[in-house]
Each structure stands twice: as structure tokens, then as C-alpha cells.
Amino acid sequence: MIKRTRKHVIGEALMANLTEELWGDLHKMAHDRLYSKSGEGSEMTDWIDWPLKYQESEEYKRLKETAKRIRNQNDVVIVVGIGGSYLTPKMIIQSEYGEFYNELAEENQNPKIYFVGCDLSPDRINEILELICGCEWSIIYISKSGGTMEPALVFRTFWQKLYELYGAEADSRVYAITDAQKGILRSIANERGWKSFAIPDGIGGRYSAFTACGLLPIAVAGIDTDKLLQGAVDAMKDCSSNPNSFAGIYARWRYFNYFQGRKVELYAVNAPEISFFSEWLKQLFGESEGKDGKGLFTTSAIFPTDLHSIGQVIQEGTRNVIFETFINREFKTSVKIPKTNLKDNLNEKCQGKEFYQAVAAAMDGAFKAHTKGGNLCCTIKVGNTLEDMGYLMQSMFVSCAVYCYMIGVNPFNQPGVELHKTNMKSSPEWDN
């Protein structure tokens, strides 16, 4: 059991297996390598102390002012990006507002937000173009390299529409978030005079949550970015001063499983509102660790929903591959289970109890059943505030980098993804 002094994150791992003797030296070496910037890819570790620097920067003030302007001017904002260039805002907006951000946007005096460029479906593009017809809208285009095909193709489609609608004014409705100097998006943004923000050289896509890449769309959604950043700053301090912070323990938990031959990690979240947190984790870990024939395969499920489908195979299917990290986030509101006149035999057991207790019972039931099935399980408990999320996200960056150094891979490159990008550009499909 790991207890933190603040309530933010409490991980309950199989601590008996994670003793200093077993993994201490390797873990310490990996932690030192990250913080002394002597590991592979160390030029991409500026995210380590970024939250504090950014919190105090002039650019952050400009970002908040820009977000206000975008909110005042628009009914709809189109956010274009893929991978690390869209998952953070998508995830935080979902975890703050649940599934219904857009449905409640008007009531909450927020612009609707549509994420595009993370897929290439012509049907979805058409649906969104139809939905925004007659609205005031602008575009936030996020691409660190500026050359990724999926967002570039979808951006040009929306840009063309924007230009047809607004003419020369269209240029004042595009906000570009990209490299400070390099890349095609940077040159176009400079040439057309688009307002822009830079993703620093030393921070890669999936580690860019606390740059404008994550924070601008989050602020546009009316979410308090100060709180999110504060959580990240708290984690930043805890992680650097203590190798056995939550981040360190989680790195060792993953290493322990990897070492024992379990090659699949399942993130099991306790609510649909945080399903994108699993997507975010899958991308962070998957792209960081999966190379040189190494790394865990990360996958996810929502409990109790998926307990009634793939729960069966998780528990009793092919053995030796799975360990589970349960993510139990506190709920923000409560619903009491009512007393009714139904003869369903549930009054005695459940009336007057809360739904969060029902969720806890489902998670507890799954934890025990899956452990019995032979999986190793641990739980991460997360509070429901933005500080809690910021803390957890920054901790996960550290955890991921430390774990990657433990298994001996560079956490900051993604050669496979780059090959996909090149292949897509040169595919013969374009010649048909």
C-alpha cells in the first residue's frame, strides 16, 4: 500500500513484490538517468520542470487571454490534431464535463468543440460540417512537426470552408500550435499571420500536455488551467525529490510484471467519463516503450460495462499475459439508490445506499474475481479535482520515462510512427 501525504493519488500496488532489494538499483539508475539528463533521448526531457516554468511565463498569460477571445467570438471551435496533439484536451474535457460537453455547451456558455484530424472518416467530416453550418467558428490546429498527413488533410478541408465563409477574416480565425521555427505549419502560420503558440523543441507530442497543445483547447472549454498546472507542479516537485514517489512505484509495478513475463497491461477505469484517460495512457506508454522488440502492450476497459463482455476473457481466457491497473476516480456528485414499491428484492440491501458504493462493489468484485483468475491487479485511486488530474498526468510522464530506462529503451522517439507517416505519404493509393 502506498500512501501519499496529499490526497491526490494513492496507489495500492503489490508492494510485497516491489522491495528495494529486488528493483532498487535498477530503478535508482533509471531515475538518475532521467534527472541527470544522461539517458537516451535526454534532449527531449524539458517537460520535467516545464509546468513550473510555464505557470510563471508571459506566454501562459497570452494563452489565457487568447482562450477568452476565442470563447467570446465563437459558437464552435474545431480542434485539429492527432496522437499527442489531441489526446490531452480530449481527455480533460471528457473527465471534467463527462460525455455531454457539447450538449451542455450553450447552457454552460462554452463553445462546442469538435476534434478532427484524429481520423479520416469522410462521413464524420461531413457530419461536423453540417453541424457547424450557420455557427460562428474558428480552428485550433495542433501539429508539432506540422507535416502529419491526417490532421493536415482534414485541416485543409476545414480551412477551405472557413475561407469561403469569412474571406480574408479567416486568417484571424486560425490558431496554430507547432514548432517555434521548423515545419510547414510554422511557415504557413508566419506567412499568413495566424496567431500561434510554440511547442518547445525539448518536448515531444505525448509529453506536451502542459504546453499550449493541451492548455489552449482546455482553457477554451472553460476549464481552470491554473488548477491543472498546479497539480503538475506538485507532482514535478514530488517526483524529482523522491524516487519512491507514486511515479517511481508505478514504474516498478510495471517493470515487475514485464520481468515476470506478463506482456499485456489492462487499464480498467471505473467510469465512462475517464475512458479517454486510458486512451491517453495507452498512447503515452505504447509509443514510449514499444520498440526494439520490447515493451508492454497496453489496453483498456471500462468497468462495470466491459465486465459483461471481455471481462470473461480477461478473467479466464488465455493465461500469462495480463495484469490489471484499476483506476478508481472519485465521483463529483452523488445519487442515492431509492426505496421503491418494486418486488425486486433489492430494497433491503440497497435502499438509501449511494451509486458510488455500487461502483465500488463492482470494482471490488472484479478485482477479486480477476485475481482468482490469475491476473495481478493493483488500484490507483484518483481524486476528482483538476489538481488531482494534473498531478497524475505529470507523475505518469515520469513513471513512463523511468520504466523505459529500466527496460532499456529510449522513451522519447517513435520510429514506427514516423515510418507510418512516411509510408502514408508515399502510398500508391495516391496514384489511383
Q: Which one of 94-102, 137-145, 155-163, 291-299 is the stretch in contact with ligand PA5 (CB under 6 A)?
A: 137-145
Q: Which of 83, 89, 200, 390 binds ligand PA5 (CB under 6 A)?
A: 83
Q: Which of 82, 92, 154, 223 binds ligand PA5 (CB under 6 A)?
A: 82
205 counts as binding ligand PA5 under rule CB under 6 A: yes
**DSSP line for 105-141:** TTTTT--EEEEESS---HHHHHHHHHHTTTS-EEEEE
Distances from the Cα of 426 to the Cαs of 149, 221, 315, 421, in angstroms? 11, 37, 43, 9
C-beta of 205 vs 217, nearer to ligand PA5:
205
Catalytic annotation, pick one of 3, 308, 343, 349: 308
The three-state secondary structure class of 282 is helix
Read off the amino acid at residue 80.
Answer: V
C-beta of 322 vs 402, nearer to ligand PA5:
402
Catalytic annotation, pick one of 96, 265, 287, 324: 287
C-beta of 25 vs 418, nearer to ligand PA5:
418
Nearest residue (beta carbon) to ligand PA5:
205
8 is annotated as an active-site residue: no
Using a 10 angstrom Cβ sphere, with 0-12 exposed, 13-18 middle and 19 or more buried, the burial of residue 191 is exposed
Contact 169, 189 (CB under 8 A): no
C-beta of 39 vs 286, nearer to ligand PA5:
286
Q: Which of 51, 204, 243, 286 binds ligand PA5 (CB under 6 A)?
A: 204
186 counts as binding ligand PA5 under rule CB under 6 A: no
417 counts as binding ligand PA5 under rule CB under 6 A: yes
- Give strand pairing partners of 325: 267, 378
206 counts as binding ligand PA5 under rule CB under 6 A: yes
Q: Which of 143, 225, 275, 385 binds ligand PA5 (CB under 6 A)?
A: 143
Catalytic annotation, pick one of 7, 28, 227, 421: 421
Vertex 412, ends 426 and 176: CA angle to 5°?
Answer: 65
Q: Which of 45, 95, 145, 395 binds ligand PA5 (CB under 6 A)?
A: 145
- Give strand pairing partners of 269: 302, 327
C-beta of 369 vs 417, nearer to ligand PA5:
417
* Rounded Cα–Cα distance for residues 51 and 306 (Å): 35
385 counts as binding ligand PA5 under rule CB under 6 A: no
- Among 301, 257, 260, smallest CA distance to 281 is for 301
Q: Which of 287, 289, 324, 387 binds ligand PA5 (CB under 6 A)?
A: 287
Which residues, other chains included, contact 232 with Cβ-Cβ below 8 Å and sequence gap of 6+? 51, 209, 210, 390, 391, 393, 394
Q: How far is the CB of 85 from ligand PA5 (least distance, A)?
A: 4
State the cell numbers at 427: 502510398
Q: Which of 84, 89, 214, 311 binds ligand PA5 (CB under 6 A)?
A: 84
- Give strand pairing partners of 9: 382
97-103: which pairs have CB atoms within 8 A and are 24 or more residues apart?
Answer: 97/221, 98/272, 98/273, 99/272, 99/273, 101/221
Binding footprint of ligand PA5 on the chain (CB under 6 A): 82-85, 143-145, 148, 151, 204-206, 287, 414, 417
Q: Which residues are catalytic?
A: 287, 308, 421
